[in-house]
Amino acid sequence: MGYWWEDIVSEGYEEYFVILGWDSSSWDEGLEPPSEDKYWDDLTLLERAAARQLCYTSDLWDGIPMAQWGRR
């Protein structure tokens, strides 16, 4: 992932990752929470808000190729 949990905390993003189901153990060990298997439309409103704070859009979250963004 490129970052340790302590990096997430020191940058002030912990709140958003926790909402998405991450914690220090799951992050540092690469154990993905259930939110990682959801499509954008299946995320709760709170999860979507957290993802937006982390610069996700529905297309980015769903893994849509950039050339197709906004065409769904």
Residues 11-58: tens digit of each pLDDT: 999 999 999 999 999 999 999 999 999 999 999 999 999 999 999 999
The pTM (predicted TM-score) of the whole model is 0.88
Q: Note the pLDDT of residue 1.
A: 55
The 3-class secondary structure across the chain, one letter per residue, is CCCCHHHHHHCCCHHHHHHCCCCHHHHHHCCCCHHHHCCHHHCCHHHHHHHHHCCCCHHHHCCCCHHHCCCC
pLDDT band at 59 (very low <50, low <70, confident <90, very high): very high
Which residue is listed with tokens 């954008």?
40
- Measured between alpha carbons, how far is 69 from 72 in angstroms, rounded to an integer? 7
